[in-house]
């Protein structure tokens, strides 16, 4: 952080609340005989990190470094043990997937895809809205949803000028469609959004449950498609039936370049390898193939494949300035903290104190958790919320004899179902920053979609657990 940011941080109540609570653990001794000294100090570090993550007093990425600093000092874990989760294979899955996304953006393959869909389907206002939502949805499966929204915003503005719509409210609906489509698309794949990546790493690190790209999408893809269709109907029913508009045609769509074809081929092969990894591992040489290995291989080929400019490759190292290195640290910090919670005995102690929850039905508790997560995400970072609640939720699942993987999946998807406020998700913030939409317009549609999402998530849970 800069000096100015540091000064701003220490002026925030969250900074001092976190420090005071952390210090209190050293003054107060643990009252439970089952709570070891290690577990007590892990609880102190967890409290500090959760307060700073949720209040965003300092950068959430900087907070993620605390396990490396504090756990070797206050617990019996050494630095090497604490640092190990920072190199979890899921982090390399994210790294490779993001490099692939940078390659797609560099050659403008995502824009070609957008204009192609619009040229084919942009015949009515409803079809244009649906096209943009599909484009945002499919693009944000692979490219971070913030970038998807930023890419589509100027295209949407251009389209609204071109079609000369007679419906004055159409532009607002179109912008909301982009934001919602980008957010929902991130749910569908492991690499779609940060909470998904963290959850997959968390399950592998603490429960030895390895969720493949295919296994995640098998649940999340149909669910996200159902939410997307619901979002379309929520927005589409507000389009004036008597409005008129010309078919959208982009005459600037030129022939596909050689670089676009090369990146498209690598992209298609990568998705194919992720989907059919189970079959590929039956080949002796590929028996240890992982989703992370596939992602890193794809990234490697982008760096060694010559571009149409013979002096360069498709990607160069300077292109890596776009990589969100902070997220990599954030995943590592969250995984290191979660691992310490499990190994120190803190998880068992929390579980014993949550015994009273067994008097409630699984349905009741999951309903409460889903509602809390969805509405908390409206005001809190979904990544910070996921990092904070997953260790506790997994203990609840064990107590209630609910599969940890199932409950975690439902709640991680719920963490992306925030549609009401500009601060709820990055796509909402991008669209709101355009100055073309008001908070109440977003909230009016978003609250409906939040409620629909609750019903769909609970329905999905009931279906999968039965």
Q: Are residues 139 and 69 in the same domain?
A: no
Residue 77 has pLDDT above 70, yes or no: yes
Domain-located, residue 31: yes
Q: Which domain holds residue 297?
A: 89-322
Same domain membership, residue 207 and residue 173: yes
pLDDT reported for residue 323: 84
In a domain, 366, yes or no: no
Q: Is residue 274 part of a domain?
A: yes
Looking at the structure, tell me whether residues 190 and 296 fall in a common domain: yes
Instruction: Give how many domains the chain has, as a whole number.
Output: 2
Q: Is 434 domain-assigned?
A: no
Residue 228 has pLDDT above 90, yes or no: yes
**For residue 243, pLDDT beyond 80:** no
Residue that is last in its domain, among 77, 109, 130: 77
Give pTM, 2 decimals. 0.83
| pLDDT over 90 (residue 171) | no
- Are residues 188 and 54 both part of a single domain? no
pLDDT value of residue 415 = 93
Same domain membership, residue 175 and residue 49: no
Query: How many whole angstroms separate alpha carbon 155 and alpha carbon 132?
Result: 10
**Do 63 and 174 lie in a common domain?**
no
Same domain (yes/no): 95, 72: no
Residue 188 tokens, joined: 């569908």
Mean pLDDT over residues 347-373, rounded?
86
Q: Are residues 63 and 27 in the same domain?
A: yes
Q: Is residue 143 part of a domain?
A: yes
- Residue 462 domain flag: no
pLDDT of residue 226: 97
Average pLDDT on 44-68 reads 89
In a domain, residue 32? The reply is yes
Lowest mean pLDDT among 45-49, 234-238, 385-389, 401-405: 385-389
Based on the domain organization, do 172 and 192 belong to the same domain?
yes
Residue 210 pLDDT more than 60?
Answer: yes
pLDDT tens per residue, range 119-133: 777 678 888 899 999
Residue pLDDT, tens place only, 422-435: 888 889 988 988 88
Task: Evaluate whether residue 17 is within a structural domain.
Answer: yes
User: Looking at residues 41-52, what average pLDDT do you find?
Assistant: 92
Final residue before a domain boundary, out of 307, 322, 337: 322
- Please state, in angstroms and rounded to a whole number, the distance separating the CA atoms of residues 424 and 445: 14
Average pLDDT, the chain: 87
| Alpha carbon distance 210, 452 (integer Å) | 30
Closest C-alpha among 57, 6, 24, 32 to residue 345: 32
Domain termination residue (choose one: 36, 52, 77): 77
Same domain as 172, residue 122: yes
Tell me: pLDDT of 5 over 70: no
Kindly tell me if the per-residue pLDDT of 227 is higher than 90: yes
Please report, rounded to a whole number, the percentage of residues in the chain having pLDDT higher than 70. Answer: 94
Strand partners, 313: 306
Whether 217 and 294 share a structural domain: yes
Can you tell me the mean pLDDT for 86-93?
88
pLDDT(386) > 80: yes
For 306-321, what is the mean pLDDT? 87
As a whole number of Å, the CA-based R_g of the chain is: 23
Shared-domain flag, residues 66 and 94: no
């Amino acid at each position: 952080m800069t000096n100015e940011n540091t000064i701003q941080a220490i002026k925030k109540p969250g900074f001092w609340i976190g420090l005071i609570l952390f210090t209190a653990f050293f003054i107060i001794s643990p009252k439970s005989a089952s709570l070891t000294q290690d577990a007590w100090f892990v609880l102190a570090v967890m409290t500090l990190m959760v307060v700073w993550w949720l209040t965003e007093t300092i950068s959430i990425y900087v907070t993620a470094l605390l396990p490396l600093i504090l756990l070797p000092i206050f617990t019996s874990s050494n630095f090497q043990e604490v640092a190990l989760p920072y190199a979890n294979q899921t982090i390399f899955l994210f790294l490779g997937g993001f490099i692939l996304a940078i390659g797609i953006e560099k050659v403008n393959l995502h824009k070609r895809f957008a204009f192609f869909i619009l040229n084919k389907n942009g015949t009515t206002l409803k079809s244009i809205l649906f096209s943009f939502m599909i484009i945002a949805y499919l693009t944000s499966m692979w490219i971070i949803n913030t970038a998807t929204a930023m890419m589509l915003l100027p295209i949407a503005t251009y389209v609204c000028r071109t079609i000369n719509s007679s419906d004055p409210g159409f532009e607002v609906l179109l912008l909301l469609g982009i934001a919602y489509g980008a957010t929902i698309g991130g749910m569908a794949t492991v690499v779609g959004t940060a909470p998904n990546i963290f959850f997959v790493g968390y399950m592998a690190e603490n429960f030895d449950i390895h969720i493949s790209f295919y296994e995640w999408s098998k649940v999340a893809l149909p669910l996200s498609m159902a939410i997307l269709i619901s979002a379309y109907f929520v927005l589409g029913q507000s389009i004036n039936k008597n409005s008129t508009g010309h078919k959208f045609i982009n005459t600037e769509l030129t022939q596909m370049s050689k670089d676009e074809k090369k990146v498209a081929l690598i992209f298609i092969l990568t998705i194919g390898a992720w989907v059919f990894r189970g079959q590929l591992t039956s080949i002796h040489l590929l028996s240890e193939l992982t989703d992370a290995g596939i992602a890193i291989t794809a990234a490697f080929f982008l760096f060694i494949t010559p571009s149409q400019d013979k002096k360069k490759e498709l990607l160069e190292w300077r292109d890596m300035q776009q990589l969100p290195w902070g997220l990599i640290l954030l995943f590592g910090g969250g995984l290191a903290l979660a691992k310490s919670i499990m190994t120190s005995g803190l998880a068992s102690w929390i579980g014993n104190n949550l015994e009273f929850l067994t008097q409630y039905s699984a349905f009741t508790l999951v309903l409460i958790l889903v509602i809390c997560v969805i509405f908390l995400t409206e005001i809190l970072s979904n990544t910070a919320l996921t990092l904070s609640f997953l260790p506790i939720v997994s203990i609840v699942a064990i107590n209630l004899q609910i599969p940890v993987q199932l409950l975690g999946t439902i709640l991680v998807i719920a963490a992306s179902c925030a549609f009401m406020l500009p601060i709820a998700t990055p796509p909402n913030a991008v669209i709101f920053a355009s100055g073309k939409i008001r908070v109440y317009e977003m909230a009016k549609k978003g609250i409906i979609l939040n409620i629909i999402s609750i019903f769909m998530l609970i329905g999905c849970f009931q279906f999968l657990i039965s």
